[in-house]
Structure 1
Amino acid sequence: MRVVVGLGNPGAQYALTRHNVGWLVVDEVARRAGATWRKDRDAEVTEVRLGTEKVLLVKPQTFMNSSGRAVAPLMTFYKLDGAHLLVVQDDLDSPFGLMKFRLGGRHGGQNGVRDIITRLGTDAFPRLKLGISRPPTGWDPAGWVLSKWRDEERTTVDELVRLGANAVEAWATLGLLEAQARFNGTDLRPKPEPAPAAPVDPA
């Protein structure tokens, strides 16, 4: 058994905000598997089969800052350690469109990860970090993460979610090292136009 937690906030008003990109990824994994969500304590959960692995997908219903309240009891119930847990999170410190796996380390200001670390008593679990970038000038970070994606960002968001679901499936079936090798180079930022070639001197 493995557990994949998508971080986000419950409620329709948060569905398309930057903070909920982790939910979008686990929703996509569930959609591909034809799975149905059900309530279990402080979370919505569903079980899917990825390759030979049974995977519990989790969407905490506690609001972001108390995510660990939903995650810790599930880890205790299934008697799992951090190696069997993947947290899918938004990441302010990564540019929008960048995706990477990371094993352990500090929470980096992500309050859902902070609470999971506190309640599990360890930071030794992998995270799939989806870049949403730092806020533009004049934006408070709390307001930025709760802002909705702009129309012009939707194509990149959809591709980030699709690749995020692929990355979750790779982690569950192939392990963290192979998933890192395959997906840590993911960068959906627009590539700069090549500089025009210098004119050839006919002389």
Structure 2
Amino acid sequence: MKKKVEEELNKETNPYQLDKLSKVPSWLIVLVLKYWAAAAAIYFIGMSVDIIDFSSIQTDDPVAIMAQSLNLILLFGLALAIFSNYMVRPYVRLLYNRRNNTFRYNMINVKGLKSFIFSLLYMMPLSFVLFLITVGLGKLGWVFDPFGTTGGAGIEPFTYALCFIICDSVCLCVKNLSISLYERIKYKRQLMEE
């Protein structure tokens, strides 16, 4: 046992050696990270809603239901903005290299306070759409509930995160296509001027 430990210590380590995780494509890493961040944000907000105590609201009052829904949407948008801006975006920036442009997986690629503000402005309408989608899926009973905790009703983190990945991917495709079209038009204009 002691010899094996000494042999391992005496081996030269190559920090540039490929490991098993380096073979995983970056798009898959980003996809799993975004899924985890969205599910974690919704889970933490779902746990904190019990602290805020919405249980005193009567379900017969439509204004109270709208107010509760608006509070949840704003909290979901804020949590998604915090998680995406301070957990997902820095990791995606670390994955960047010349061969692999991972910036295309982020909706917002600016730094500082502007990044959080733009992320908040992006996540609020997205959280509204996701809220409507997940409530509709919950009413239909199409909720991905592996642990059987929600009984097919309400907002469930796994379903919300899956819908988030789909909606975010659609928004990213639109953004990347518009950027590529803009760059192509700009390039053609430069060729026409020469």
TM-score (ref. length: structure 1): 0.23
More strand by share: 1
Which is greater in Rg? 2
* TM-score normalised to structure 2 length: 0.23
Q: More helix by proportion, 1 or 2? A: 2
